[in-house]
């Protein structure tokens, strides 16, 4: 169990440091900036690379919503849910803290939103709370369907991290303008406390919506798309090496 938690810590650390780091350090320069597309790709690459690196140890969740969805789909042991959540949130905080120290080393730098999520005034495109709630639920549900489908017994072996990483890239391409893309409560929590905005006050939505979306996606997979044989199989890592 200890190795699983270390794997989730390092995987979530990499996701936040790489994904949010690309937004904080690399996205804002007109001549060098990578833009929304670059940030989207960075998030996808963090999941893809760490899923291959440590997915065989912990399942490669790196996201409290994913852990919940896998438990609801009978692919993850419920008794490990809270420890996984703790490891993921701690990993996100550690990455955010180091990223803050690095970013603040530039003369005149200001944290601003610090890659945090938000709605209303904190939404990059000014989207409402209702819009943010809906898009986060729908995209997290779709993410869980991709995860469960690509790691099912009938899926081609060894390609799950690619499908999952590309799905997360697509999700960011869709929703960065709306919410700065969460679909991951740990990612949202880690950076919110370093932002100079009211991001902490909006964290409730970026826990509620991804968890609700993950539950919906897991139930869609479990009752509409998977077969009885798959539901009866023993628990196994989400990604196998």
Decide if pLDDT at 239 tops 70: no
Q: What is the pLDDT of residues 49-87, one digit of tens each?
A: 999 999 999 999 999 999 999 999 999 999 999 999 999
In a domain, 213, yes or no: yes
211-229 average pLDDT score: 90
Q: How far is CA 75 from the centre of its chain?
A: 18
Number of domains the chain contains: 1
Confidence of residue 232 (pLDDT cuts 50, 70, 90): very low
The whole-number pLDDT of residue 238 equals 47
Written as six digits, the tokens of 27 are: 């996205």
Q: Is the entire prediction scored with pTM above 0.85?
A: yes
- Let me know if 125 is exposed, middle or buried by CB neighbors in 10 A (0-12, 13-18, 19+): exposed
User: What range does the domain containing 170 cover?
Assistant: 2-232
Residue 94 included in any domain: yes
pLDDT in tens, 145-203: 999 999 998 888 889 999 999 999 999 999 999 999 999 999 999 999 999 999 999 99
Helices (DSSP H) in 76-155: which residue ranges?
81-103, 129-150
How many C-beta neighbours within 10 Å does residue 161 have?
A: 23
**How far apart, in whole angstroms, are the C-alpha atoms of residue 68 and residue 77?**
10
Task: Write down the mean pLDDT value for the chain.
Answer: 92
pLDDT confidence of residue 240: 38
Does residue 155 belong to any structural domain of this protein?
yes
- Supply the CATH number for residue 168's domain: 1.20.1080.10
Q: Is residue 239 part of a domain?
A: no
Phi/psi region, residue 124 (left: phi>0; alpha: psi -120 to 50; beta: rest), is: alpha
């Amino acid at each position: 169990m200890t190795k699983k938690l270390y794997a989730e810590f390092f995987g979530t650390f990499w996701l936040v440091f790489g994904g949010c780091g690309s937004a904080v350090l690399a996205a804002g320069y007109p001549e060098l900036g990578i833009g929304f597309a670059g940030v989207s790709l960075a998030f996808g690459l963090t999941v893809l690379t760490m899923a291959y690196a440590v997915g065989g140890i912990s399942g490669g969740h790196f996201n409290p919503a994913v852990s919940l969805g896998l438990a609801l789909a009978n692919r993850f042991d419920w008794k490990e849910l809270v420890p996984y959540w703790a490891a993921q949130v701690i990993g996100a905080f550690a990455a955010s803290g180091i990223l803050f120290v690095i970013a603040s080393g530039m003369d005149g730098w200001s944290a601003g939103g610090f890659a945090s999520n938000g709605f209303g005034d904190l939404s990059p495109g000014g989207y409402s709370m209702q819009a943010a709630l809906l898009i986060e639920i729908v995209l997290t549900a779709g993410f869980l369907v991709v995860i469960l489908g690509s790691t099912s017994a009938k899926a081609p072996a060894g390609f799950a991290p690619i499908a999952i990483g590309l799905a997360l890239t697509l999700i960011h391409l869709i929703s960065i303008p709306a919410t700065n893309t969460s679909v991951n409560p740990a990612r949202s929590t880690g950076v919110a406390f370093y932002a100079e905005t009211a991001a902490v006050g909006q964290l409730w939505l970026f826990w509620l919506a991804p968890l609700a979306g993950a539950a919906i996606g897991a139930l869609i997979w479990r009752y509409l798309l998977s077969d009885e044989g798959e539901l009866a199989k023993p628990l196994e890592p989400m990604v196998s090496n």
